[in-house]
Amino acid sequence: MEKFLARSISIAFHPLLLPTLGLLLLFQTDLYITFLSGTLKQVVIISTLVSTGVIPALFVLSGRIFKSNSDSWEKVPVQTLTYLISGVSYFAGYYLVSKLPVAGFFNAIFLSGTLVLVALALISLRWNISSHMAALGALFGIVLAIMLRLGQHDMGLIVVILLAGGFTGYARLVMGKNNPAQVYAGYILGFSILFLIFNFV
């Protein structure tokens, strides 16, 4: 039961879904860009889902298929390639969103996400850092930075994000996917990059 719950949490807060979930969450608050029309919000959400979720997911699935059917793929660092392909997809999302009249904030999200993925790709060559926790740390970093810049606070949102991070970290440990150091390092990495970019740039 415990492993089933951990797996469910891990899927719910998967890095491929979190950018879209994060935007949906932000759109429900008064913290930022609430003036966007419904149509623009839909365009942003769809662009985010395609570039940060669908395209990387297709690559992951195709990579697993090729690896299972070819011995030559055994030595290929599939996880590292996944991060790099995801980074390219994020950059594609940046290009799509840059055509919108309110692109600045979203451009920063995609470019920051690209930096996180490049960092994960480099680290994963030597160490199994947690991408789940990096994504949740990034979400907390961007929300906290926005709150500080706008002088607004939504403690409910902060609590939800922190709980999501705590439960996900627990899930990764229960499933044996990461050790405590990898969980904490992933969270700190994602948080640091997004918080610094949105708080000081």
Contact at 8 Å (CB) between 53 and 21? no
Pick the closest to residue 109 from 26, 8, 175 (CA basis): 26
Please say if the pLDDT value at position 200 is more than 90.
Answer: no
**Element at 177 (helix H, strand E):** none
As a whole number of angstroms, the distance between CA 143 and CA 59 comes to 29
Alpha-helical segments (H) within the chain: 2-12, 18-27, 38-49, 55-69, 78-97, 103-124, 131-150, 155-174, 180-200
Domain span including residue 110: 2-200
Q: How sure is the predictor about 183, in pLDDT bands with cuts at 50, 70 and 90? A: very high
> What digits encode the pLDDT tens for the residues 27-76?
776 655 556 667 777 877 887 888 888 888 887 776 555 555 545 444 55
User: What tokens were used for 121?
Assistant: 């790709």
pTM: predicted TM-score of the whole model, two decimal places: 0.84
> What digits encode the pLDDT tens for the residues 128-180?
899 899 999 999 998 888 888 877 777 888 898 999 999 999 999 998 888 99
Domains identified in the chain, total number: 1
Q: How many CB atoms are located within 10 Å of the residue 155 CB?
A: 8
Predicted local confidence at residue 62, as pLDDT: 67
Predicted local confidence at residue 73, as pLDDT: 46
Contact at 8 Å (CB) between 105 and 83? no
DSSP label at 162? Answer: H
> What digits encode the pLDDT tens for the residues 9-18?
888 888 888 8
